[in-house]
Amino acid sequence: MFSRCFFIIIFGCLFFAADAQMTRFSFTESKMGAPFTITFYSRDSVEAANIAKRCFILVDSFNFIFSDYIDTSELSKLSKTAGVNSLPVSLSPAMYDILIQSKKAYELSEGAFDITMGPLSKLWRKARRQHQFPTDSTVRSIQNLIGFNKLVFDTSNKTVRLTQPGMQLDLGGIAQGYVAQKVIDFLLTQGISNALVNASGDIVVSGAPNGKEGWVVGVNVPEKTDELLNQKLILKNRAVTTSGDAYQYIEKDGIRYSHIINPVSGYGVTFQRNVTVIAADGTTADWLATACSILSLKKAKKLASLLGAEVLIAEIKRGRLLLNSTKEFRFFWKQE
């Protein structure tokens, strides 16, 4: 459902020796259209398996709320009400929460992050699948359906109205990080304080592997699926997400258009850029990585700093790899 277009590899966690009491367990299932991995330390294998099972059930419950691939999901049902008598729709707590956070993201990013991009997302998804570039008139026509101002919230009753007929919401740029964070939060309630959750590259960690300073994470080079930056990140009680177009893009006249769409132009961004965001929570890391993929370098760094996050922007220009980051990002590099 929410598969992203980048490549982050977890290093080292396979090699951490457990102490006499705690053992490392890792569980992977296909969730939200991609591998979903939960790694943590526990004293008992049966207990660990039971906790992992409950985590995956939690993931499924969110998927049935946020997915735009499931016709009966809450999100799909909400999109179907667009323009129908403009009636307010009551929302589940999770849906209301993620919409409010999306509203905040839209405002802070000056519109770079916009969940009303559903119609454009589907247009470009189809274009990539069929290898057929849409006409400019088609893009412009569909652009008329988007705009966060077409969402009307009632904070007292926790309802929302989709005022534009044909509107469709797309939570793909925020939901994976949100769900990964919720799984980490659940693990904490179960006494699991050293864990890593990887929702297809949206990574949230708590604590650190046994005897280690933190979880070690590698980031890929822009445009590459199998080449990593020389340095690795070391993280504790943080979230990290990288956005790029290594997997999903469409080309025309020698220009590569990313799956990350600029709401202003209606087209995928053409930067050869990977954006890695380190934030305090998975939700922020997820949407901020998308926003910073669209914003200028200056605005991306300013926004990250405003949120207490760090951003690394890796670009290829004239065949050269250039790295640009916020000042504090360097403290997360692993010291060899």
pLDDT in tens, 80-106: 999 977 789 999 999 999 999 999 999
How far apart, in whole angstroms, are the C-alpha atoms of residue 224 and residue 176?
22
Map tokens 């006409």 to a residue.
Answer: 135
Own/partner contacts of 296-300, CB < 8 Å, gap of 24 or more, are 297/324, 299/110, 300/275
CATH code for residues 1-66+85-336: 3.10.520.10
The predicted-structure confidence for 292-302, as pLDDT tens digits, reads as follows 999 999 999 99
Q: In a 10 Å sphere around its CB, with 0-12 CB exposed, 13-18 middle and 19+ buried, how is residue 259 labelled? A: buried
Gyration radius of the chain's alpha carbons = 20
Element (H, E) at 45: helix 45-66
Contact 250, 137 (CB under 8 A): no
Three-class SS state of 69: coil
Q: Are the C-beta atoms of 311 and 326 separated by less than 8 Å?
A: yes
- Helical (H) or strand (E) element with 311: strand 310-317
- Neighbouring-strand partners of residue 11: 216
Instruction: Give yes or no for a contact between 11 and 214, defined as CB atoms under 8 angstroms apart.
Output: no
| pLDDT tens-place values along the chain, 336 residues long | 544 544 444 444 444 444 447 899 999 999 998 999 999 999 999 999 999 999 999 999 999 999 999 999 999 999 999 997 778 999 999 999 999 999 999 999 999 999 999 999 999 999 999 999 999 999 999 999 999 999 999 999 999 999 999 999 999 999 999 999 999 999 999 999 999 999 988 999 999 998 899 999 988 776 666 677 878 999 999 999 988 765 678 889 888 888 889 999 999 888 778 899 999 999 999 999 999 999 999 999 999 999 999 999 988 777 788 889 999 999 999 865
Helix 118-130 to helix 136-143 angle, to the nearest 10 degrees? 150
Give the C-alpha distances (Å, rounded to integers) separating 331 from 26, 231, 304. Answer: 28, 12, 15
